[in-house]
Structure 1
Amino acid sequence: MKKYSKRAISLTMLALAAVLLLSACGSGNTAQTTDSVTNGQQPASLQSENSKASVELENMGVKMIFPEAPKRAVTLNQHATEVMLALGLESSMVGTAYLDDQILPEYKAQYEKIPVLAKQYPSKEVFMAAAPDFAYAGWKSAFNDKNLGSREELAEQGVATYVQESSNKPGPTLEDVYLDILNIGRIFRVEDRADKLVGDIRKQVQSIQTQIGTVEKAPKVFVYDSGEDKPFTAANNYLTSLIKSVKAKNIFGDVNKSFAEVSWEEVVSRNPDVIVILDYGDTSLEDKEKLLLSKPALAGVEAIKNKRFIVLPLSAAAEGIRAPIALRTLAAGLYPDKVK
């Protein structure tokens, strides 16, 4: 057996140490990441990786994967548009369409930077000309053959889609609206903004409910949308949840439809204390009030006798960011001595 000098052994050990050091350097990032996550602190490199990670979620029964945040979004319906603007995503938008009302003043400057594709739903040609990679609709009717085509067809053309689920399910609540906002935050990798927005809305809702305080007997509310011979009213929908949130009761909340045509006789029978008039469309607010006051059959209804009307813009009744506006409007009309 050969004998090695002390110098040779030393050199060998130095070389081995160098190899081990290089190996440690190569695997050090993984070890640091594990430790950092365990301690609840994510290094910048990991945060960057997370922002690029695919987002998976289910929307209206459709399983979706977003490998990256959309860069060319088009919004369809006002409440979808205002969610995007409230999340500061106007730079990711290449088009918008279908307003029910004026955009909220705080988002007007952002909105004016975005091309308006149509007064209502754009044609398929106009929509595709904007080269979108994402379409966000308030109502599922946006994605049918009459309008932009099915979600499956759009996916084949490289356009991912999201439908405001809270606008398209029976009896949606504020929690359902919050989930939609949080989902959009995830899709666009702005979760912190979405969390803050939902938190701000929650605080405003809580403040209004605190002002209302204890209500011994829930006021009965009739929502008048439209109709002369037969009234069209809100039933098992978001408005009923909003009314419940201000400790009142929708007299037609038990009807298993989103909106329903009822009879004036049923309105009389249920005798509302207050009538909420939805302000939108071609029929003016004045004409709606005049019709209600001129109906002989309604003369004995408490709301008519006391002329207790609450005017609510349709935009405030949509499942978006306007819940505090809707709730304050309702609460001020129901409890004028408590909420201003």
Structure 2
Amino acid sequence: MSYKLLSSTLFAAAALTASTSAFATHYPFTIDNCGQKNTYEHAPERVVTIGQHETELMLALGLKDKIVGTSVWFGPLPKAYSQDATSLKRLSDNSPSFEAVLGQKPDLVEAQYTYHVGKQGEVATRGQFEDLGVHTWISPSDCVGKGLTDSSNSDGARSVPFSVDLLYREITDLAKIFNVEAQGKTLNAQLAQRIEKAQKAANSSALKAKDTKVVFWFSSSRLKGDAWVAGNSGAPEWIADALGLDNVVDSNQEWPAVSWETIAADNPDYIVLAKMDRRLYPADDIKKKIAFLKNDPVTKQMTAIKQNHIIVVPAMSLNPSLRNVDAVEQIGQKIGQMK
């Protein structure tokens, strides 16, 4: 077991053995989030989520009634929350406007990515919200051990590899902010149990074949252009590591743009494709992705394509989120069926 997986297991074990006594949050409560300290006088009552992970995390913590607006959607909600879809207010499927967010009169805005709420935030900066008395939250997965540079052609580089410890941390912190620590402990324990089960299944089914190579394709700015594929430090690398697969892309960028000639030269055994409802780019369409791979003179020569080792998973499961565990389970099962 790798250090990344071991650290997560140890964290989870601590959560499982912790006292089940729930301690109420004492307000005012101050917490550091991505280098910014916020003091909460009470649990937030009106929350706008910018990023599907934040929406799903609020639902998982039983905080649906706190959500007054959502945005940045990649696809449907998990089955467990599918009935909530119609009652959640969508401000936008993609980035909402600053005015649309403020129109919901939020006391907290939760962002999945610094891209939307950060120094160069597409929606706004944290300061713009804070100046109006609106607290902000950014998922630790998008700031801890990660730096964004102007020269990056991707979603930024990671100096520290992604680990589910960051998800456990976010669950714990938000549960504290909203005074639902018992729900946070339960959710962490459930994730830990699923991770342990998925790892055992991967080991027992001999998925950990030596030198089995994989590539994760999210999207592309142009269908026939360089592909946005997973680097070796993000959530897909954690997924590959859990299954004993070798990610062919050696980059600390989260989603670097890599030529298909380079990918084909590494000749992956499996290719994992992100399926999404978003349509910002032609390659967001899963049907167009598959058609391109099977017909392009370069890509169709890859072992993964010749053997039809194409695995489709929801895009959300390849971004740091609660769904990373889903990806380990789904990819492991599909590879087992293909062998």
Calculate the TM-score normalised by the size of structure 1: 0.79
CA distance 1:203–1:41, shift in 2 (3 Å): closer
- 2:59 is aligned to 85
Worse-superposed segment, 136-145 or 265-274 = 136-145
Q: Distance in 2 between matches of 1:110 and 1:264?
A: 40
CA distance 1:153–1:229, shift in 2 (3 Å): closer
Equivalent residues of 1:224, 1:275 under 8 A apart: yes
Q: Distance in 2 between matches of 1:309 and 1:62?
A: 42
Question: SS of the residue aligned with 1:57?
Answer: strand
Q: Distance in 1 between matches of 2:138 and 2:312?
A: 28
Q: Distance in 2 between matches of 1:319 and 1:249?
A: 19
C-alpha displacement of 1:333: 2.4
CA distance 1:297–1:93, shift in 2 (3 Å): closer
Would you tell me which structure has more helix in proportion to its own residues? 1
- Greater gyration radius: 1
CA RMSD of aligned residues (A): 2.4
- 1:279 is aligned to 275
Q: Which amino acid aligns with 1:221?
A: V
Q: How do residues 75-224 of structure 1 correspond to structure 2 at under 5 angstroms?
A: 75-143=49-117, 147-168=122-143, 169=146, 170=158, 171-213=161-203, 215-224=208-217
Question: SS of the residue aligned with 1:136?
Answer: strand
Q: Distance in 2 between matches of 1:285 and 1:125?
A: 33
C-alpha displacement of 1:159: 0.6
Q: Work out which structure has the larger RCO, using CA pairs closer than 8 Å and 6 or more positions apart in sequence.
A: 2
Unaligned 5+ segments in structure 2 are 1-18, 147-157
Q: Please point out which of 228, 239, 247 is paired with 2:244.
A: 247
Question: SS of the residue aligned with 2:136?
Answer: strand
C-alpha displacement of 1:138: 0.6
CA distance 1:41–1:266, shift in 2 (3 Å): closer
- The answer as to 2:252 corresponding to 1:229 is no
Equivalent residues of 1:309, 1:333 under 8 A apart: no
Deviations 1:101-126 (A, max 9, x none): 01223223334333322232322222
Q: How do residues 308-319 of structure 1 correspond to structure 2 at under 5 angstroms?
A: 308-319=309-320
Equivalent residues of 1:277, 1:312 under 8 A apart: yes
C-alpha displacement of 1:134: 0.3
Q: Please point out which of 63, 68, 74 is paired with 2:42.
A: 68
- The count of aligned residue pairs is 293
Equivalent residues of 1:167, 1:318 under 8 A apart: no
Identity value in percent: 25
Question: SS of the residue aligned with 1:125?
Answer: helix
Q: Distance in 2 between matches of 1:209 and 1:287?
A: 32
Calculate the TM-score normalised by the size of structure 2: 0.79
Q: How do residues 262-301 of structure 1 correspond to structure 2 at under 5 angstroms?
A: 262-280=258-276, 281-282=278-279, 283=282, 284-301=285-302
Question: SS of the residue aligned with 1:141?
Answer: coil
